[in-house]
């Protein structure tokens, strides 16, 4: 699942692929915002992304990705 996080005062979004479900990500975001702590997510390669909750501009939780499609000659 693709997750995009907009961070205040940063020009680029944080984008990661995660094995978490949409409900799990939503629960983690809600908990971080409610507690004022950090949002910590792990991507599919095991890397951790940590964002301070007070700097989160938005979180976009995408649908689970399907297999990539190739380009065909028209």
pLDDT tens-digit readout, 7-47: 999 999 999 999 999 999 999 999 999 999 999 999 999 99
**Which pLDDT score is estimated for 70?**
65
- Give the pair of three-digit tokens for residue 70: 């190739």
**Which pLDDT score is estimated for 39?**
96
**Which pLDDT score is estimated for 67?**
57
Pairwise CA distance, residues 35 & 31, whole Å? 6
* pTM as predicted: 0.78
CATH number of 2-61: 2.30.30
Pairwise CA distance, residues 33 & 29, whole Å? 6
> Hey, where are the domains in the chain?
2-61
The 10s digit of each residue's pLDDT in 46-69 is 999 999 999 999 999 986 655 566
**Which pLDDT score is estimated for 68?**
62
């Amino acid at each position: 699942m693709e997750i995009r996080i907009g961070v205040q005062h940063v020009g680029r979004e944080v984008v990661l692929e995660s094995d978490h479900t949409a409900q799990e990500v939503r629960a983690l975001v809600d908990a971080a915002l409610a507690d004022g702590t950090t949002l910590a997510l792990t991507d599919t390669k095991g890397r951790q992304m940590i964002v301070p909750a007070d700097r989160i501009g938005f979180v976009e939780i995408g649908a689970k990705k399907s297999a990539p499609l190739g380009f065909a000659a028209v």
